[in-house]
Amino acid sequence: MSFFDFMNGVFWPLRRVNTNNKPVLQIVPQPEVIQDQPILVVEKPIVPLLDLASVTYRESPNKSDRKDQIRGIVLHHTGPGTFDGIVNWLINPVAKVSAHYVVGVVGELTQLVNTQRKAWHAGPSKYTLDGVVRNDLNHCTIGIEICNIGVVHKYDDGKFYYELGARQAEYKGKIAPQEASITYPSGKVLSGYFIPYPKVQTDKVVELCKALVAKYPQIGREDIMTHFNIALPEGIKNDPFGLDIQNIINRIFGE
């Protein structure tokens, strides 16, 4: 407190006034003084990026050389199967498919192909990147497979079924399917049900993508793609069905 503030506090209540021409002292109410309150600034904790070099690596033979630089990320769902079963299939040369990473339902993460190499995940595809229409997105993208059984259909008997190879298998899981739909580039809509992606799984997907974007800063919001949006012919793919892609993108880029 300054000397001026102190003296003002002492003498403010006393004011000389005249009553019948006789000077007297009158007590004047002191105005309320509002003290400045400290502003509490709460900063978000800085979460270190995922160390990509520490991710479990199981090499897949299903890869080849890139003919373009990395420009984007393609998200997929795997279809039915356990995490280990899916990884084992993607590293089997008979499969002739692969991805750079696989993310399990409890946050497991395994890398199968070095990101400098082309993984065989997108197949025939087309998408505009950097203002250029590109074909065969395998050459310029990183593929991430997210473990999920995919589209679930509700039949007239009230039961839910999903594709298991060439047949329909009844879904008997404890997690209730939820309704969802996807819209293809032409505007065509596919509706159905899906098994929700657990938070621990989507957290891992976001964590992985953040690390990849940090490593490859040329990847922007518009470069996070879904398989169904790029696959040819349109409608042949529906993955990752039910995934809230906009929420994932917002979380990747901190919005």
CA 178 from centre of chain: 19
Residue 28 has pLDDT above 80, yes or no: no
pLDDT in tens, 147-182: 999 999 999 999 999 999 889 999 999 999 999 999
Contact between 248 and 209 under an 8 Å Cβ cutoff? The reply is yes
Q: Residue 165: what pLDDT?
A: 87
pLDDT in tens, 229-244: 999 999 999 999 999 9
The Cα 249–Cα 72 span in angstroms is 12
Q: What is the mean pLDDT of residues 32-50?
A: 61
pTM for this model (two decimals): 0.82
The CATH number of domain 56-252, selected from 3.30.70.260, 3.40.640.10, 3.40.80.10, 3.20.20.70 = 3.40.80.10
Q: Which residues contact 36 (CB under 8 A, 6 or more apart)?
A: none
